[in-house]
Amino acid sequence: MKTKYLNAETVVPKRLLDELQQYVQGDWIYIPAVKGSRKAWGERSGSRQALRRRNGDIRQRFAEGSSLEQLSSEYGLAYDTVKKIVYTKA
């Protein structure tokens, strides 16, 4: 992820900038995101949900009798990956 620096004059109200300048002038300052505001990997793009759906399909097909080898081949996943999906609680 590329770090993006912003000029405080363009994003912070003047009165807040004046207050900040009493503590920091001409240096870099990091302002963390609000706790809970960051989305987990794949939530924004839908990848997380797609993987859950795929893994659910793999578990169901295994329960219906498909072998680990078949599922590995059909889904293009390593045998050990399919095994992990099937034997790990959802």
Quick check: 71 and 62 in contact, CB under 8 A? Answer: yes
Crossing angle of the two packed helices 68-75 and 79-87, in degrees rounded to 10: 110
CA distances from 64 to 10, 20, 37, 76, 83 (A): 59, 63, 40, 19, 15
Is pLDDT of 1 > 70? no
What does the pLDDT look like over 21-71, one tens digit per residue? 999 998 888 888 888 777 888 888 889 999 999 999 999 999 999 999 999
* Other C-beta atoms lying within 10 Å of the C-beta of residue 70: 13
When pLDDT is averaged across residues 64-89 and rounded to a whole number, the result is: 96
Quick check: 43 and 33 in contact, CB under 8 A? Answer: no
